[in-house]
Amino acid sequence: MNKSELIDAMADASELTKADAGRALDAFMSSVTDELKREYTDPKDAPSVALVGFGTFTVKDRAERKGRNPQTGAEITIQAAKIPSFKAGKGLKDSVNG
């Protein structure tokens, strides 16, 4: 399913127009992105968006690590990064498995 198909499904399920469903989806994605971009210093204070029964969007810190250039085989340093993550909630897992 791509974004336009998701908008169509949201419009059908909610009796919104496709334009309204599109704006709602864009607002949701923007809100989640803005929260995950929020600055933090302590990993315990990392931003997250929890949707009970669906899942939780969080930010994880990935440490700097060593890697290899696949073309030359030379060792390189891969910089530390903040990685967005999603953990499915019990309701979503049960729906998919049941």
Mean pLDDT value of segment 46-71? 95
- pLDDT by residue (tens digit) across 65-96? 999 999 999 999 999 999 999 999 999 999 99
Whether 91 and 48 map to the same domain: the answer is yes
SS (H, E, C) the chain: CCHHHHHHHHHHHHCCCHHHHHHHHHHHHHHHHHHHCCCCCCHHHCCEEEECCCEEEEEEEECCEEEECCCCCCEEEECCEEEEEEEECHHHHHHHHC
Same domain, 86 and 50: yes
Domain that holds residue 32: 1-37
pLDDT in tens, 8-38: 999 999 999 999 999 999 999 999 999 999 9
Instruction: Mark whether 8 and 27 lie in a shared domain.
Output: yes
Whether residues 47 and 81 share a domain: the answer is yes
Q: Name, in order, each residue with C-beta under 8 angstroms of 29's C-beta and a sequence gap of 6 or more.
A: none
Q: How many structural domains does the chain have? A: 2
- Same domain assignment for residues 51 and 20: no
